[in-house]
Structure 1
Amino acid sequence: MDGGCGARRSAGGVEYTLTRRRVRNINLRVRPDGTVAVSAPRSVPARVVDDFVADRVCWIQSARARMADREKVRAAEPPLPGRDEALARMTVLCQKWYPVFAASCPGGAMPRVRVRDMTTRWGSCSLKTGTLCFARRLCVMPPAAQEYVVVHEFCHFAHPDHSPAFWAAVAAALPDYETGRRQLRGR
């Protein structure tokens, strides 16, 4: 069945949902819950999509295993603080580092601090609004990792890229920044 809403199919022992779309290629995704979704052009026969999925069974199993491992790590982490508590913690840490970076902050003012539920980043810096934003999950990381992210984001006010000058500024402010960086990469 090639429905536009998503037909359930099976290939190579993998159950998947096939959705027909205006796309050029067959696209395969393993969702966080382990289910498999495939989108394909209307012109591609279902048997071709089945073969595509069957040829990628090893990759699908590997992706599911990585997601399961990630979920185990997340389950072992301490619970996240509430938004207000996370914001208070990150604000205190930013106030601690602000004097070091005041000259490079927009207008010399203390940046606005925000926390969000980010899953792909630990922090971000907006030059336009003078805002530092941090992932709420950063609050459960070791202190060295938290400091590294704060310093990293402050350095973006002076160097909005990851050039050698940027990394030199990070190293000048936090000589042991690699410790915090390693702690983040281990997660």
Structure 2
Amino acid sequence: MKRVVRVNQTEIEYELQRKRVKNMNLRVTREGGVSVSAAKRVPERVIDEFVASKADWIAKTQNRLASVERRRYFDGETLLLLGKAVPVRRLQGQRQTVVLRDGVLELALPHPEDDKKVKKLVDTYLANLCEQLFASACNDCYSVFARLGAEKPQLKIRSMKSRWGSCNTKTKVVTLNKRLVLVPPACIDYVVFHEFTHLIHPNHSAGFYQLLGRVMPDYEDRRRQLRSFENIDM
């Protein structure tokens, strides 16, 4: 159901979905649309007020998404990296190197006009970055869960269409979506803490959310931020 909220001189149109959820959830799609999910018992007036309270965040998110083009790695274009639009610059070089310098991703290679080699170079860089960032995030997280008696899980990284992460409590394997390299570090930490919490509570029970709230008090804010990146592709 479509609804419109007026904030000062601006109208915010959003899609309201009634679901069996505990809290109201708002996200901005890649195309800039606004979607809100809320339980049937929540009055529309309350939902409108919730959307209005997020007006500044919605505008900033829409502007950020509008500035990020779909990645093709041509010189002067941008890619999304850790939640920020990063310009890409191709350079002539004897060896293939990738350096993030002053907010610009510099790609040096013998044939910088070769799109396929450029894409392969960036993909390799992102894969290595995933391994470094995710391993560090998991180690930091485990320092918390080790005190709760959790066994340290194995980390796997792969592409996933519908989930940011998963936890196999039987094999003790936490799998993270490689697309997490596109989102802010705070969102990466949220996914890691979420999956590690499953080592103690396999289901999304009340105990699960109580523990998650104890080890990460602002997890709901991080989750809402992450949802604005749901439709971002690598």
TM-score (norm 2): 0.45
CA contact (8 A) 1:93 1:147 kept: yes
Residue 43 of structure 2 corresponds to none
Percent of aligned pairs with the same amino acid: 36
Structural RMSD (CA) = 2.5
2:132 to 88, 91, 94: 88
Residue 139 of structure 1 corresponds to 181
CA contact (8 A) 2:30 2:228 kept: no
2:31 to 57, 62, 69: 69
Higher relative contact order (CA 8 A, sep 6+): 2
* The structure with more helix, counted as a fraction of residues: 1
1:78 to 80, 92, 95: 80
- CA distance 1:131–1:68, change in 2 (3 Å): closer
Size of the alignment, in residue pairs? 118
Structure 2 matches for 1:148-187, cutoff 5 A? 148-187=190-229
Aligned-pair CA distance for 1:139: 1.6
CA contact (8 A) 1:116 1:133 kept: yes
* The structure with more strand, counted as a fraction of residues: 2
Structure 1 unmatched runs, 5+: 1-66
Q: Report the 3-state secondary structure (helix = DSSP H, G, I; strand = E; otherwise coil) of the residue aligned with 1:157.
A: coil
Q: Report the 3-state secondary structure (helix = DSSP H, G, I; strand = E; otherwise coil) of the residue aligned with 2:203.
A: coil
Distance 2:79 2:171 in 1: 32
Aligned-pair CA distance for 1:88: 1.9
Distance 2:198 2:182 in 1: 23
Distance 1:114 1:95 in 2: 13
User: Structure 1 segments of 4 or more deviating over 6 A?
Assistant: 70-74
